């Protein structure tokens, strides 16, 4: 089956995906990890930001709550598939783009054809 599930899951896969004040529910972390294992989905690497949510309070908390999970088939067809976090503006969440890693090789070479003369 082909799956691509994305969104705000309101929990983390690993306690290291959280930083700052507040207590988190270890039961929800275990449940989410169990779901990822049972659904056989892959958590794509995140580039550009370390965390996708901030509480914007005096004692700041950061967490990676937003993510895309894809089936192994999709990951095998697109091995360079990744998530890229976009800096926040008004929301307390970072927007996330999903796509393949691409290289910017700069401008293409200039070509001149004799037929243009």
Between CA 43 and CA 29 the distance in angstroms is: 14
**pLDDT (tens digit, 0 to 9) for every residue of the chain, 117 residues total?**
788 999 999 999 988 899 987 667 889 899 999 999 999 999 998 999 999 999 888 888 899 999 999 999 998 888 889 999 988 888 899 999 999 877 666 777 777 777 777
Would you state the torsion angle of the CA atoms of residues 67, 38, 61, 21, taken in this order, to the nearest 10 degrees? Answer: -170
Token duo for residue 90: 């008004």
Instruction: Report the chain's C-alpha Rg in angstroms.
Output: 19
Within 13 Å of residue 21, how many CA atoms lie on the same side as its CB? 6
pTM across the whole model: 0.77
Question: What is residue 22's predicted lDDT score, i.e. its pLDDT?
Answer: 65
What residue ranges define each of the domains in the chain, with the CATH number in brackets?
4-101 (3.60.10.10)
């Amino acid at each position: 089956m082909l799956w691509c599930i994305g969104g705000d899951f309101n929990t983390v896969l690993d306690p290291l995906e959280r930083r700052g004040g507040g207590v988190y529910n270890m039961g929800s972390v275990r449940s989410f990890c169990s779901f990822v294992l049972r659904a056989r989905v892959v958590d794509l690497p995140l580039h550009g930001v370390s965390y996708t949510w901030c509480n914007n309070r005096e004692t700041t908390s950061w967490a990676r709550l937003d993510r895309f999970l894809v089936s192994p088939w999709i990951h095998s067809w697109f091995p360079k598939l990744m998530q890229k976090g976009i800096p926040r503006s008004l929301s307390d969440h970072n927007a996330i783009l999903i796509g393949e890693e691409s290289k910017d090789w700069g401008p293409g070479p200039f070509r001149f054809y004799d037929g243009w003369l």
